[in-house]
Amino acid sequence: MFDQYGLWRLDCESGLVYWSRDVYLIHGLEPADGTVNLQAAIDRYHPEDAKIVSQMVEECVQYQRPFRFVLRLKHRDQGYKLVKSTGCYRETPEGKSELIGTFSEFALPIRSIATTE
């Protein structure tokens, strides 16, 4: 099984967030369609880290500069686990503003290969 590696998107015009399947799975949730409750998602971080997440997102929207972090996400009943996220601002071909980024569990890099065969 491949490691989970998700994508997320924040539509600047609507203020709404969308996750790919793996982002839900990393959060320990069943994948769902539609928008994401951003407040609830940020609340799942360690209280010290939640403030950092919201500030980084805010500044990425405001100043259009990329970010990356490795922070603590609640992990069911087992405390916290480290997750890694990147984000950057972009304009779509239609001229709309959005943030897009990646999301994964943080793991030490180990040289390896995998195939679907």
Partner 1 sequence: MFCDSQGRGPGLELASEYVSSVAGDQEIVDSLGHCETLYDIFRILKRLTISSGFKYFNMLRLPAASDATLNDISIITNWPPELIGAYDRMGLISHSPIIKAMQQSTKPLVWNLSDINSDRGDGKENEVLNLFGEYGIVNGVYFHTADANGQHGTLGLSGEREQPDHDELIRLSYIANHAFEQATSLVTVKSRNIDVLTQRERECIHWTANGKTSGEVAKILGISENTVNHHMASSAQKLETVNKAHTVAKAIRQGMVSGKGEI
Give residues 41-80 in contact with partner 1 (rule: CB under 8 A). Answer: 41-44, 48-49, 51-52, 54-63, 65-72
- 9 torsion bin: left (phi>0), alpha (psi -120 to 50), beta (else): beta
Give residues 84-113 in contact with partner 1 (rule: CB under 8 A). Answer: 84, 97, 99, 106-109
Interface with partner 1, residue 31, by CB under 8 A: no
CB 84 within 8 A of CB 105: yes
Please report how close the Cβ of residue 93 comes to partner 1 at its closest, in angstroms.
19
Token pair for residue 107?
């793991």
Closer to partner 1 by Cβ: residue 62 or 116: 62
Interface with partner 1, residue 13, by CB under 8 A: yes
Give the span between the Cα atoms of 48 and 79, in whole angstroms.
14
